[in-house]
Structure 1
Amino acid sequence: MARTAGRRRRRGAGLQVSRLTLTIFLANLAGLAVLLFGSFGLTQFRDGLIQAKLEGVRAQAQIIADVLAQTAIDETSCRPMEAGEAGPGEAGCALALNEGDVNQIFTRVWDSFEGRVRIFNAPQSFSDPPVTDAGALLLEDVVLRRDVIIVEELAPIDASPTEEFINEARRRLAEAFGNFLAGGYRREAARRALEDELNEALASSPFAEERGATSLRLNEDGELVASVSVPIRKVQAIYGIVTAEIGGIDELVLAARLAILPFFGLACLTAILSAFLLTAAIAQPIRQLALAAHQVREGVSAAGRVRIPDLTARRDEIGELSAALRSMTQAVYDRMEAIETFAADVAHELKNPLTSIRSAAETLEIAKDSAAREKLMALIKKDVARMNRLITDISNASRLDAELARQTHEPVELRKLIADIGELYAATLKDGEARVRFDAAGPPVYVSGNPTALSQVFRNLIDNARSFSPPNGEVRVFLEPAADREARLRVLVEDDGPGVPPDALEKIFTRFYTKRPSGSAFGNNSGLGLAICRQIVASHGGRIWAENRLADPANPEGPRLGARFVVELPAA
C-alpha cells in the first residue's frame, strides 16, 4: 500500500505547479507591476506635457494681449468711476477696454489658436486682493478651435440597459483610475482659483521675460486645464487681462499611459517565458534531486540503490548541490554496508567463544575426573572473560562514530600528551613487560584535535607494540615536528617484535583481524584497536600506516627487526 501511494505521488508530481515556478513568476510580475504603476504615476512626462501646453497658451495670450492693447484701448475716453472706486489721489476716470472693439476682434477667425480665451477689465480698486469676483470683470468669453473634423462614434440607439451599464461602469472606472493616478497634482489644481491667477498676473512685472501668471487648475466642468493670464498694458497702465486656457491634458496623459500597456503585455509574456526557462534550469533539477532524495529515504529502487542525478557538469550551485547529495548518499550507503559488515563480524566473533563455552559445558556434564572438570571450568571462565572484553571493545567501536561527529577540536600540545602517556606506563610497569621510552625534550608541537581521542590512538599503538615485544623489551616513541606550516608532523611507535608479514601490513587495520605469531596467548585481543586508531586519525585529517624495521632496507623479504607504526597529522 505504501509503495502504491509512493507511485501515485510521483506520477502526480509532474502535474503539480511548481511553487518555485510560481514564486519566480510572481517576483517577475511584481517588478513589472511596480514599473508599470511607476510609469503611470511618472511626473516627468506629465510635467513636460503641461509645460508645453503652458508655453503654447502663453504665446497665444501674449499675442491677444498685444493686439488688444493696440486696438481696443481708447485713451481719449474713460469709464466713469462709481462711488467709492476712486482712491486718494486718483482721477475720476477708470481705465477700461472698448467693449465694441473687443467684440469686433473676436469676430475674426483665429486659425492658429485653439482653446478658451476670456477678456477681463482691469479692477478699478487695487485693494488686497484686487480681484475677488472674476465674473464681474468679464467682457468676452470665447472658445477658439482649429478647423478640424471630429468623428465620434455614438452608442447604438437601441442599446440595451446592460450595455449602457457596462459602458458607464467602464467610464467611471477609467475616471476613478485616472484620478487615483493623478494624485496630488490634481488635488492641488482643484484648490487653485481663477481669481488667484488674475491677482498674480496683475502683480507681475511688465519687464519680466515671461509676462503674466500661469497655473494648472480645474474649470467649471472639472476638467484639468493649463491657464495663462497676461495683463493688457499700455505703457505702465493696465486696461484689462487676457486669460487663455486649454484642456485635453488628461486625455493625452491617458493616451500615453495606454501606449505603455502593449509593452507591459510583452513584458508579462517575457516574464512567463523567463519563469518557465528558470523552472527548466533551476526548479526542475531541484525537484529531481528532491524526488531522488525522497526515494533514498524510502529505499525505493529496483536495483537496491537509488542514483542521485549527476548535475555536476552545470558548474553552478545546483551542480554543487547534486555533488553534495551524491556524496552524502554514497556515504549513507557506505555506512550501511559498514554496519552490515560490522554486524556480521560481531556475530562471527561472538560465536567462537559461545561455541567453546557450549562444548565445555556439555563436556562438563559427563566429566568425572575432578582435574578435567577444573580444566573445563577454567576454559569457560577464560571464554567468558574473552566475551566480556570483546563486547566492551565492540561497544566502544560502535559509539566511536557518534563521538567523533560530536567532538570539538582544540589546540593539543602533542609532545606533552605523549609524555604524559609514557609516564603513565612507567608508573604501572610490571615485571616482564616492555617499557615505553619517549624523549620529551624539545619545543611544543601543536595539532588541532580532540585530546581524548588522540590519547586513545597512541595508547592503542603502544599497547599493540608492547603485546608483540619480547619480555623486558622496549617500545620507542618518536615525534617529528613539521618542517613548515604546509608540512605534516609524524609520530612513530617502534617495537622489537617479530614485525608484520608484508601481505598483512594493510589487513591489520581491518576490524577483528587478530592473527598473531605462534605461541602468543589466544583470545587476549579483539582486533579492533588498530581499526579504531585509523578511524580516529582519519577524522583528524591524517593517516596511519604500518611498516617493518628491516635489517636490510633494500630487501623487504629479509629479516625483520620489529614493526613501526607511523601517524601523520596536519600541524596546527
Structure 2
Amino acid sequence: MTLATRIDLREEGKAKRADVVLGEDWTAPEGVVDSELRAGRERRGFISLNRSPLARKIITFNLMAMIVLVAGVLYLNPFRNSLVLQRETGLVAEAQLIANVFEAQLPQSGPVNLASGDGIDVRRTAEGIELPEGAELFVFDTMEHLVVSTVGMDRAERETVTGLQRDHRSTIITDILNAVWEGIASLLAPGNGPATGHVIEDLARQLAVGAIAGETQIRTGRDADGEAIFAVATPIRHNGRVLGVVAVTSVAGEIDDLVRVEREQVLQMFVIAIVVSIGLSLVLASTIANPLSDLAAAAELGRDKNARKMSPGRVRIPDLTARPDEIGRLSGAMRGMVAALYERIEGNEQFAADVAHEIKNPLASLRSAVGTLRVARRDDQKQKLLDVIDHDVRRLDRLVSDISNASRLDSELVKEEEESFNLLKMLGNITEFLGQEARGKGVDFISDLPADPIVIQGLEARLAQVFVNLITNAISFCAEGDAVRVWARKRENRVLVVVEDTGPGIPDQALTKVFKRFYSERPPGQFGEHSGLGLAISKQIVEAHGGVIWAENIRPTDADITSEPLGARFVVGLPV
C-alpha cells in the first residue's frame, strides 16, 4: 500500500472516472497535460525523427525497395537489348545491300579478281557508297587480304535527315555513376583495357574468316575507347562462287549514347522517386513513430529519471482512439489498462480501509472484555467475559481467513484452467448435501432441476463455492417452517440458476449493498458469525465467468412494490 499512497487517486468529486483517470492530452488545458510531455512535443520536428529507430527503419526499407527495383531494371537492361537487336538487324541488311552493289558491278563472264581489280574497280565502288560518319567499310578477298577500306578515305557530305541526329542530351547522373563504376573496376582489375581490345579492322578481319565460307557473320566488340561497335561480314558471290567479303562496322558508341540517355531518364525518375519516397516515409514515420513516442513518454512519465520511484502525478495516456488503425487500438488498450490499474489501486485502498475497520471492531470488543475481566469479581461475570473473548477471537479468525481468500481470488481465477462440466450435476450434489442440513433445521428444501444436462465452460469448484454460499445464506435466514427452493432453466445462450427462500427478505435500501465487501444484514442472533465477504466473492467469481448476479425480493404482486416481501431471491446468469 506504500506505492498506492504516493499516487493521487482522488480528483475532483464531480469528474467522471474515465476523465479523471486518463484525461484528454490532445485537447486538454495547459494545466492538465504533463509539462514534460508538452515540452517534448514542442521540441519535436522532422529532424528529430533521425533519433527514432522506427523512423529510420521505415525510411531505410522504403529506400531499399526502390533501389532494388531500379537496380533490377538497370541490370536487366531491356531497352538496350532491344536496341542492340534492332541495330544488328539493320546492319546485316545494310551489309547485304552493299554486297549486292558489288555483285551488280561484276561482269557476267570473264575473269574477276577483287585484289587485282579484274572485272570491277573495288575502290571506286566503295567511294560511291555513302556511309554514316564513323561507320567503316572493308572489302577482303578470299585470301583474307584487305582489298579496300574506307578508313581515312575522303567522303562526300551526307544529306542531313531530320530526326536521325544523335541525341546529345545531358546525362550527368549516368556519367557520374559510370565514372564511379570505372574507378571501382580499375581498382579491382588495374591495367585492364577495353572488354575485347580489338581495333575496327581486326574485328572486321575476324568476321571475314567465317564469311568466306559463305555465311554472314555478326559480332559486337569495343574500340580502344571502350565504345560498343557492331560489325557484320557478308560474302560477295559471283555465279555461285564467293569472290570476297564485305565487312561493315557501325559508328562507335551510338548504342551506348542511346542507352545512356534512357538510363539517365530512369535515374532521373529514380531520384524524383527517392525524394518523394523519403518525404512520404517521413510523413509515415511521423504518423507512426511520434504517436508511439507519445504513448511511451506518457507511460514513462510515471517514473522519475532514475526509475526508482513513481511520480506523484497521475499517468495520462494520449487519446488516439479516433485513429482507425493499430495505434488507435493500442492507445485505447493502454487507456483501459491505466483505468483498470487505478481502479485496482483504489479498490485495494478501499479494501485495506474496510479490513482495518472490520478488524478494529472485534479488537475493541476484546480490549474492553480484557479490561473488564481484570476488575471482575464474580465467576459468572468472568465466564461471560470469557465467552465474549472466545466469540471475538473466532470472529477475528473467520475474518482473517475470509480476507485471505478474497485477496487471493483474483490471481487464482487467472491461474486456474477452465473446463467443461455438467452444471446440473454439480447443483444436484450441492442440493442433496445442503438439503439434509436444511431439513435438520425444520426448513423445507425444494430442488427443481431439468432432466437434460447443461454443460458450461468454467471453474467448477469456484462456481460450486458461489452456489454453496447462496444456499447456506438462504438457509441461515429461514426459521422453522420456512422453505428454500433452488431451480435452474436454460434460456437460449444463457442458463439461470435461482435460489429463493421464504425468510424475512432484504431491506430495500440494502438491495444495492449486499454485494459490497464486509456488508452484512443479519438477524441479531447471528451477529459476528459472518464476515460479509461471501456475496462479494460470489459476485467476483460469477463476473469472472462472464455472468451476472443480482438480488431481489419476492412480493405477492409486482404492482405493489410497498407490500411486505415474501422472501429473497438471488439469480445467477451464466453463458452456455
| TM-score interval (norm. to shorter) | 0.7 to 0.9
Within 5 Å, which residues of 2 pair with 1:151-300? Answer: 173-175=180-182, 197-198=207-208, 201-202=211-212, 212-219=216-223, 222-246=226-250, 247-248=252-253, 249-296=255-302
Distance in 1 (CA, whole Å) between partners of 2:85 and 2:510 is: 96
| One-letter amino acid matched to 1:492 | V
Distance in 1 (CA, whole Å) between partners of 2:370 and 2:442 is: 34
Q: Secondary structure at the match of 2:451?
A: coil
Q: Is the 8 A contact 1:496 1:562 kept in 2?
A: yes
Distance in 1 (CA, whole Å) between partners of 2:521 and 2:404 is: 22
Q: Is the 8 A contact 2:37 2:298 kept in 1?
A: no
Residue 386 to residue 27, structure 1, CA distance change in 2 (3 Å): same
Distance in 1 (CA, whole Å) between partners of 2:225 and 2:323 is: 65
Within 5 Å, which residues of 2 pair with 1:109-124? Answer: 110=130, 112=132, 114-123=134-143
The answer to whether residue 89 in structure 2 is matched with residue 55 in structure 1 is yes
| 2:32 paired residue number | none
Q: 2:556 aligns with which of 526, 551, 556?
A: 551
Residue 428 to residue 112, structure 1, CA distance change in 2 (3 Å): same
Distance in 2 (CA, whole Å) between partners of 1:332 and 1:245 is: 84
Distance in 1 (CA, whole Å) between partners of 2:283 and 2:177 is: 37
Residue 374 to residue 200, structure 1, CA distance change in 2 (3 Å): farther
Q: Is the 8 A contact 1:96 1:121 kept in 2?
A: no
Q: Is the 8 A contact 1:74 1:97 kept in 2?
A: no
List per-residue Cα deviations over 1:402-432 (Å, max 9, x = no partner). 1122233222211101011122324666842
| 1:392 paired residue number | 401
| 2:532 paired residue number | 527
| 2:31 paired residue number | none
Within 5 Å, which residues of 2 pair with 1:286-435? Answer: 286-296=292-302, 304-426=313-435, 431-432=440-441, 434=443
| Deviation at residue 436 of structure 1 after TM alignment | 4.3
Q: Secondary structure at the match of 1:313?
A: coil
List per-residue Cα deviations over 1:423-453 (Å, max 9, x = no partner). 2324666842646432345101112211111
Distance in 1 (CA, whole Å) between partners of 2:119 and 2:366 is: 138
Distance in 2 (CA, whole Å) between partners of 1:170 and 1:280 is: 33
Distance in 1 (CA, whole Å) between partners of 2:451 and 2:116 is: 117
The answer to whether residue 52 in structure 2 is matched with residue 27 in structure 1 is no
| Deviation at residue 233 of structure 1 after TM alignment | 1.7
Distance in 2 (CA, whole Å) between partners of 1:422 and 1:316 is: 52
Q: Is the 8 A contact 2:431 2:447 kept in 1?
A: yes
| Deviation at residue 9 of structure 1 after TM alignment | 13
Q: Is the 8 A contact 1:411 1:446 kept in 2?
A: yes
Q: Is the 8 A contact 1:40 1:257 kept in 2?
A: yes
Query: Which deviates more from structure 2 when the two are superposed, residues 435-444 or residues 264-273?
Result: 435-444
**Identity in percent:** 38
Distance in 1 (CA, whole Å) between partners of 2:298 and 2:469 is: 42
Structure 1 stretches lacking a partner, 5+ long: 1-5, 80-93, 124-135, 153-167, 181-185, 206-211
Q: Is the 8 A contact 1:465 1:475 kept in 2?
A: yes
| Deviation at residue 400 of structure 1 after TM alignment | 0.8
| One-letter amino acid matched to 1:489 | V
| 1:560 paired residue number | 565
| Deviation at residue 395 of structure 1 after TM alignment | 0.7
| 1:451 paired residue number | 460
| Deviation at residue 178 of structure 1 after TM alignment | 8.8
Q: Is the 8 A contact 1:350 1:387 kept in 2?
A: yes
| 1:104 paired residue number | 124
| 1:158 paired residue number | none
Within 5 Å, which residues of 2 pair with 1:492-511? Answer: 492-511=498-517
- Normalising by structure 1, what TM-score? 0.80
| Deviation at residue 260 of structure 1 after TM alignment | 2.4
Residue 311 to residue 271, structure 1, CA distance change in 2 (3 Å): same
Q: Is the 8 A contact 1:433 1:466 kept in 2?
A: no
- Normalising by structure 2, what TM-score? 0.79
Distance in 1 (CA, whole Å) between partners of 2:559 and 2:293 is: 59
Distance in 1 (CA, whole Å) between partners of 2:203 and 2:355 is: 100
Q: Is the 8 A contact 1:425 1:435 kept in 2?
A: no
| One-letter amino acid matched to 2:575 | P
With a CA cutoff of 8 Å and minimum separation of 6, indicate the structure with the bigger relative contact order.
2
Q: Secondary structure at the match of 2:234?
A: strand
| Deviation at residue 57 of structure 1 after TM alignment | 1.9
| Deviation at residue 522 of structure 1 after TM alignment | 0.9
| Deviation at residue 300 of structure 1 after TM alignment | 6.4
List per-residue Cα deviations over 1:143-202 (Å, max 9, x = no partner). 48876999x9xxxxxxxxxxxxxxx9997634357999xxxxx97999x97677445545
Q: Is the 8 A contact 1:534 1:543 kept in 2?
A: yes
List per-residue Cα deviations over 1:75-101 (Å, max 9, x = no partner). 52256xxxxxxxxxxxxxx99865982
Q: 1:139 aligns with which of 122, 141, 147?
A: 147
List per-residue Cα deviations over 1:229-267 (Å, max 9, x = no partner). 221122422111111122313343233223322222211
Q: Secondary structure at the match of 1:508?
A: coil
Alignment RMSD: 3.5
Distance in 2 (CA, whole Å) between partners of 1:189 and 1:43 is: 24
Q: Is the 8 A contact 1:513 1:527 kept in 2?
A: yes
Q: Secondary structure at the match of 1:41?
A: helix
| One-letter amino acid matched to 1:345 | D
| Deviation at residue 564 of structure 1 after TM alignment | 0.5
Q: 1:466 aligns with which of 467, 475, 479?
A: 475
Distance in 2 (CA, whole Å) between partners of 1:407 and 1:430 is: 35
Q: Secondary structure at the match of 2:563?
A: coil
Residue 169 to residue 267, structure 1, CA distance change in 2 (3 Å): closer
| One-letter amino acid matched to 1:243 | A
The answer to whether residue 84 in structure 2 is matched with residue 77 in structure 1 is no
Distance in 2 (CA, whole Å) between partners of 1:195 and 1:358 is: 125
| Deviation at residue 111 of structure 1 after TM alignment | 5.3
Q: Is the 8 A contact 1:310 1:322 kept in 2?
A: yes
Q: Secondary structure at the match of 1:314?
A: coil
Residue 438 to residue 104, structure 1, CA distance change in 2 (3 Å): same
Query: Which deviates more from structure 2 when the two are superposed, residues 256-265 or residues 390-399?
Result: 256-265
List per-residue Cα deviations over 1:94-140 (Å, max 9, x = no partner). 998659822223334725565122212125xxxxxxxxxxxx43323
The answer to whether residue 495 in structure 2 is matched with residue 489 in structure 1 is yes
Structure 2 stretches lacking a partner, 5+ long: 1-34, 169-174, 188-193
| One-letter amino acid matched to 1:267 | A
List per-residue Cα deviations over 1:536-562 (Å, max 9, x = no partner). 111111100001111233222212111
Distance in 2 (CA, whole Å) between partners of 1:176 and 1:257 is: 19
Q: Matched residue pairs, number?
A: 507
Distance in 2 (CA, whole Å) between partners of 1:121 and 1:460 is: 119
| 1:65 paired residue number | 99
Q: 1:540 aligns with which of 532, 535, 545?
A: 545
